[in-house]
Structure 1
Amino acid sequence: MELINTKDISKKDGRQYIIFYLGNEMFGIDMLYLQEIMRIPDVVKVPCTPAYIRGITNLRGTILTIVDCRLRLGLEKSDDTESSRVIVLTAEHKKLGYVVDQLVGVISFNENELDKGSTSETAADFVDGVVKIENSQKLVMLLDAKKLLNLRDEESLKEDVEINKNNNPDIFSEREEENTDTNVEQLQMISFKIGKEEYGIEVSDVQEIVRFSSDVHEVPNTPPYILGIISLRNKVLPIVSLRRLFDMEECALDERSRIVVTKIEENDFSYLVGFRVDLVLEVLRIDKNAVLPVPPLLNTKDSEEISGICKLDEGSRLVYILDPKKLFKNRLRENVDILRTHADEQEINVVDAKDEDEQLVSFLVDGIECAFPIVDVKEIMSSTEIMVVPKAPDFVEGIINLRGVIVPVIDLRKRFGLKEKNLDDYNRIVLVDISGRYTGLIVDSVKEVLKVGRSQIDSTPEILMDEIDQRFIEGIVKFDSSDRMVILLSVEDILSGKEKKELMSIDKANN
């Protein structure tokens, strides 16, 4: 906590207030609510929040919402300076950081010195009274910390929950009846490119996807397809080049190169291996009966790792499904000890039942990193031609034809009220199920597949829940080793109940 100049503290026995400037006006907040004072941190912006909410930051493992005090009080916005600080207020398990222009010090006064009269018109809703600094003509407007923290009684909060349920009954309803394909067994895959060919590995075998780092340590006396080992979150991860494994020429690294981290299980033993691939494409979800067996001519001993072939886009696109277990069984048997390097150490960290791992698909929307649980992502596809639908709801960009199914598409930039931009090669359409309706969500780019523990997911700060029209934020993912935070979105709450009904109407209009 920063030290405050307290040479002007009044010696009277009374309540103490921390004093600060906003422009030329002085304000104060009861010291009882002050947790600490800090310099302005880097923040992650949150979509659909009021202008006075700057974003969220990771304060020693706690998600802290940062508020611009000027804008919150209805004052004119101003740029930060070297004197700007964040005062962290806390009460009743609520915590908020308010950005102020400059700290002054601490004053103490008695209750009878408090003037409940004239206050600034702009800040009137938050001002509890006015006090004059001793031996000065300066007035200090004392702010109500409870109002700044948006504290309300428990009964009001219960009423809000009931109102939300009544206004959005479809959120709590069963969706199985609307999904006619639930009896069809499906295969979900991460697809990627190696050279000109497209391959896929089942999501259940993929732990995560990370950017390829050049910090690979070579291991002597290994075949060329074993690139070496890297350190991934204090664990040793062997890296295999699928290009070299498939007798293809190695290509230069670029920003699209990725490592697909896969878990290999052998009898009662398991270990992780990272496959270096050229480009991760999509998350595919297809019917298992659409997977074709490998033709006998190709089903040789050297290609047993291909367990099936998918035909997509009316046969113009082929995806070879890889089975990591068979891949290791045939080609890497002689080097399995290298791939198991420190495997025992990898298995020491037993996951607590209360902290089960969860896989997320992260993506960017106007620089904001968001994510969906991977179980809610049906597919991820490249941007394609979107047909505009007359009289469609404002939030619908248009429709696409997905293998004979009409799918409405929503631009998340528009949905969140962010700056719009033209689609490019980086844009992706994330296909999700909203109340039993296949829906495409346009994002700027898909970043990676994350594996996080549930303890890393914090609940949404209450101030955000109070201010966001649609409670679509399920939580905030935090990382102990960095300031990175990811906003976990709820697929079902992206749209309101009314908007979901409007979405369903698109089917009727196009049938």
Structure 2
Amino acid sequence: MSELSQYEQGFGSFRIGEMTLALPMKSVREVVPFHPLMALPCPHPWIKGGLDLRGVTIPVLDLECLLNRPGHQYTPGCILLIAHENHLLGLIADQVKALFFANPAAMHTVSSEDTIGSIFAGSLMNSELNQLVQVLSTQALFDLPGLPKAEDPEPHRQSLELQTSNEDTALNTRTPLMLMQSMSTLFAVNPKDIETTVVNPVLLPSEYAGGFYKGNLNYREQTIPAIDLASYLGLGTNKQLQRATQQAFVIRIEGNPLALLIDRVLDIVHVPHNSVIPLPCFGLPKANQLEGALPCNVFSKEDPHSQRGPQYFVLSCPRISEDQELIELASILAKASATAQLDFENQQGKTALGLDRLMVYRLGTEFSTPIEQVREVLPYRADIEIFERSNPMLGMLTHRNQSMPVFDLAQWLGAERQSLSHESSILVVNAHGSTIGFAVTSLTAIENALWEPHVPVLGEQRQLLHGRLKTTQRLAQIGEDKHQCMVEVIDLHQQIALILDQFGVISPTALETVPEHSEHAAQ
């Protein structure tokens, strides 16, 4: 793992609507789930109310309302508590995205004479995600006219910010730790040792999964292994009947990424260097993978971290990265991803689908697509729908610094428009120089194609899609024993070619991949 420059600082990014914003981590106190707010005697509509934080009312600000942007429902949403000069303020957000490190001197600053416009300090590149984020000015937020300010009931937690201007000296006397929970066990890790965090990871099944290896994640156009942190270390007991992993963080093992699954990130704190105490060399299944323990009595009695348990187990990412079993797992997946990418590139421009692995999903009934065609799977969002229901194009989604059109796949194929919900997904597909999202009702599984008929069995007489010939006219057999079935295979690269053709922007290369019935499909 590359060492961070002494000039780099931590920034926490979060999402509000279509905006990806960031704040210096030294200003972020904690993140809490969104709760109903108390009414406050404040005339400004952008002050949405007050949050009861351990007996103290914290004003909560809605940035979209402040900026006079069209608001949307923050569901499930969260509240970022930010601290500045012994005062606290809450910001409503859709979700916290990632922690990244950057040199503040590299920020492209902006200036504004307008009080509200001055909350934007500038833009900064998150090099890990290759994403440009807008950094907010903590000072300008607290300087908003008429903003009620709540006195910080725990000013000691802000000690780093209140020290002398020589921040390097302050950082050299304290260690940053990201606190988290996995199953019933508390863990901590130095955020400088991780590459990024992943919110609501979509776990893809693997035929080799077992034990602490739970499956795979799509990460930066690559399939990477995901292991359960508590199970891997042999710690924690699952007291819940059903456990849904909500977060993960990524480390590098000999240059290959690997995801560690956890339940949730609790906070990022700074503790004295000597706070971590040694652990006994016996009694712990993998004591060598731990730096030691952080006793909860490091925090004050009023601090919620002191009440969560006796101690946090502090991970040693360098030692975890030396685990031969994890090295082999990460290496195998990296080679498989590289091979799949090469096969994908070799398949470009060919009409035949070499079926092997299929992503199965529902559009009323089950359909499938070769998994190598799907670059990412995103959760569906209702607020992207801006076009009339007669239009199979739902709207636009900003993703990876580009505006991506999203189509209802069933409606595009000629069926009725789907009833999309929080269980629905968007399949991100890149072909013919364009990136398009296809909304599906739900994902079912990832299956091996066991057999494909050699004849086009879905001819003109099949009317499920009302005669709109936008299909491959191919079937694939999936499943085992009594669960075997035939599913229709949809070539999403072909669909992109048809979409480009319909809108008059198709390239000669794309036309070569469209079957002879494209004239009917474009009608």
TM-score (norm 2): 0.45
**Which structure has the larger Rg?**
1
